Every structure is written in C-alpha cells, then in structure tokens.
Amino acid sequence: MPSLEQLLAQVGSHREEMVEALSELIRIPAIGPESGGSGELERSRYLRDILDHSKFDDVEMYDALDERVRLRLRPNIIARRRGKADQTVWIVAHMDTVPPGDLSAWSTPPFSPRLVDGKLYGLGAEDNGQAIISGLFAAETLMSTGVELERGLGIALVADEEAGNEKGIRFLLQEGVFKPGDIIFVPDHGTPRGDEVEIAEKHILWLKFTVTGRQVHASRPDLGINAMRVGSELIVFLQEFLQRKYGERDPLFTPDRSTFEPTKRLQTVGNVNTIPGEDVFYFDCRVLPRYDLDAVQSDITAITDIFEQKTGARIRVEPVQLTRSGRPSDPEGEGMRALRWAVQRVLGVEPRPVGIGGGTCANFFRLAGMDAYVWQTIEELAHQPNEYCVIDNLVNDAKVYATVLAALCCGSQFKA
Ligand SMILES: [Zn+2]
C-alpha cells in the first residue's frame, strides 16, 4: 500500500504531462453559441480520448440537444470507477469558456498557449482548464496505485456553464447521473492562497426595466413624459427600498448583505434637445439565500405600479436571469472535513467556509439536496484578457484532490 507521501510524489512527477494536456485544451476553442461559438464538441473529443485511455471503468457521453450548434449537440462526459459502496465522490469541471473579447487586449493569441515564468497563458487556462486537468490527474494517479475503492470515483466534464447550465449540469441532474449521498467537488472558485471553500451562493436575479413615457422637444417638457427622469427616480427608490427591506447581514458572505445594483443602461436618444420617450435599464440583484426571491419580485411590481400611477409612464419588468440558490452545504460535512484536511496537509493553510455572489455548478447540486464544495487555488483571472494558469497551482490542486479522493474513496487504506 503506498503512503500519502508517495501518492503526492507521483502526482508531482506528472507536472510536464499536465502542462502539455492543458496546452492542448487551450488550442481547442469551446465557446457557447450565445457568444457565436460552436460549443464544446471538439474539446470533448480530445478529453474523451484521454479518458478512454485511463483507468476509469466506463466513460459515457450525455449529449444535450442544442439546435444552435453543428451536429446539434452539447457534450457532457461522465467517467466512473466503481467502488464497493453505491456512493460516488465527484469532481465536476466545465469545458466551455467565454469568448476572448477584445483581441487587441491579448498580448498573445488566446488560443495559442504560451508558457512564461511558470504561467501558462491562454483563454480558459484558469477558468476552468486548471480544474479539468488537475481533477483528471488526481483521479488517474490514485487509480494507478491499484488501491480498491470503497466509494466510487467520478469525473464530470460539463458543457454550457458560462450561459445558464441548461445543456450542462442541469441536464445531467435531470438525467439522474448523481445520487443523494454523493459527495461533490466543484473547483471553480478560489483564492491565490487556497484558503476558502465556497459552501453557499446568493440567489441571482437580473431584471430588465423598460419605461415608456412620451417623447417631446426638450423645450416643452410639460407636453411629454420624460422616461429617463421616471427611470432615474425609480432606480434610486428601488435600490434604497430593497437594500433596507432585505437588509439582514450574514458574515459567511462577501459582501455580507444582499445587493441590488443598477448596471446596464441603453442609450435611447442621440441628441440633447429631445426628451426621451423610453428608458431601458437593468438591475443585477444578489440576494442572501434566507430571503424568498418571489417576495423581492412582488415588492418590485408593487413599486413600479405606484410609479406608473404617479407619473403616467408605463413600466415593464422582465427577468433576464433568475437562479435560486440551494441550501448551503454542511460546513462540517464529510466532504468539507476531507477537503480541509487535504488543504492543510498539502498547502499548510486552513481553509474557511465562505459564501459568494454566485454562481457555479455547485448551486444546482445544492438545489437537488446534495452537498457540494467549491475549492481551488487561483489568481482569479477568469474572463480577463491574458488569462493564465500558475503551474504550481495546477499541480498543487491535483495533489489536494488526490488527497481528498484518497481520504474519501480509500479511507483507511492510505497511510497518512
Ligand atoms: Zn468557471
């Protein structure tokens, strides 16, 4: 039976292969159709090939139908190694990326990996390539020791995380891939020191407001209804009202309160001397899980009704995104204890449980009644130009997850 030290040394010996695998991943674009991309198919074929040559017992594809992409499918890969118990420990990572944005902001092309000073540059290197590669190597190294698994071990590589999860983790949950009692890890949020485990997320509510007044010449405001003025008053009133009414604080989260922020506003008139007949703006609300989103929405409706009566304008409110948050994961659950122990053992820091403004795949497990823990060591460069992955983080995350899997899947067999 190998010792934990030997297992960690074996993970470390795969450093070059991990860099190579992540480089290859970066070369294969996996952008969703809502951003003009063709999805994850090519990338999934590369990963499928790695998994077919691994020690997993079975590798299955769960293809979600999506009319918007070539071959009309969004691929999800489920790799499993059976254990004695009918319970599985999962590492879940997403294959898709956001688009690169302004190419002139990238100092090297986003799909051409470049290794400089221990950092591998490329789109999706950190979000979520690091998790895919560290998860794969953690699992494969553990399985290569030949130990018998008490619990099963699974890797889920999912599509469509950056734009709603409908063809990804939500699809897999509907398909019944995961079972109550499974323990889930989602390496898709973290800090540079690896000292946070995310166990809770806020509700997410994005709203679009359209205020319709009456457009007139700016010299005759009394003849019209200035939609921008109505909209502006509404923005200030809503923000203050909601912030006060839903004002409880929870130190688990940063920031420790619900937030209700006006964000995007459309230009409706192009000249100075016209009173706008329309005003369009958006709110991004992140609400503590203790509150009911329906109550927030009915308060907003009541307020817009009053504004309509008072001003004569018409106000339409449409949700652009509504994601309820599940019950926070148990901060003393078995998954959390194993993770805390592994992080201490490998990195020498004690991670603390935190909540974030959302959202990761973990939330959908929590909504389904499962505990999910979000941990990795990252520079927090997701969605930025010149995104990179620190190779030490890549290798250390693999060591931490190999330790977690050893503790949960092989229990007593590993000599600590
Ligand atoms: Zn991500």
Please tell me which residue in 161, 188, 196, 201 is annotated as part of the active site: 161
pLDDT of amino acid 401: 98
Question: Is position 148 annotated as part of the catalytic site?
Answer: no
Q: Residue with structure tokens 């890969």?
A: 77
Domain boundaries, the chain: 4-201+327-413, 203-323
Output the CA 162–ligand 1 centroid distance in Å.
7
Cβ atoms of 289 and 357 within 8 Å: the answer is: no
CB atoms < 10 A from the CB of 148, how many?
9
CB atoms < 10 A from the CB of 124, how many?
30
pLDDT of amino acid 359: 84
Output the CA 127–ligand 1 centroid distance in Å.
5
Question: Is position 96 annotated as part of the catalytic site?
Answer: yes
Output the CA 379–ligand 1 centroid distance in Å.
13
Cis upstream peptide for 128 (omega within 30°) = yes
CB atoms < 10 A from the CB of 55, how many?
16
Please tell me which residue in 40, 66, 96, 198 is annotated as part of the active site: 96
Q: What is the CA radius of gyration of the chain?
A: 24
Cβ atoms of 180 and 369 within 8 Å: the answer is: yes
What would the pLDDT profile of 44-94 be if each residue is shown by its tens digit? 999 999 999 999 999 999 999 999 998 999 999 999 999 999 999 999 999
**Alpha helices (H) in 145-201, listed in sequence order:** 169-174
Output the CA 150–ligand 1 centroid distance in Å.
30
pTM of the model: 0.91
As a whole number of angstroms, the distance between CA 32 and CA 22 comes to 20
Same fold, 4-201+327-413 and 203-323: no
Closest to 367 (Cα-Cα) out of 322, 323, 325: 325
Average pLDDT over residues 390-409: 97
- Amino acid letter, 288: L
As a whole number of angstroms, the distance between CA 409 and CA 404 comes to 8
Closest to 187 (Cα-Cα) out of 136, 241, 150: 136
Q: What are phi and psi of 23, to 5 degrees?
A: -60, -45
Average pLDDT over residues 26-39: 95
Q: Three-state SS for 182?
A: coil
Question: What percent of the chain is modeled with pLDDT above 70?
Answer: 99
pLDDT of amino acid 368: 95
CATH topology for 203-323 is Alpha-Beta Plaits (3.30.70)
Structure tokens at 246: 């839903």
- At residue 141 the predicted structure's pLDDT band, cuts being 50, 70 and 90, is very high
Identify the CATH assignment for 4-201+327-413 out of 3.50.50.60, 3.30.300.130, 3.40.50.1970, 3.40.630.10. 3.40.630.10
Output the CA 167–ligand 1 centroid distance in Å.
15
CB atoms < 10 A from the CB of 195, how many?
16
Output the CA 54–ligand 1 centroid distance in Å.
25
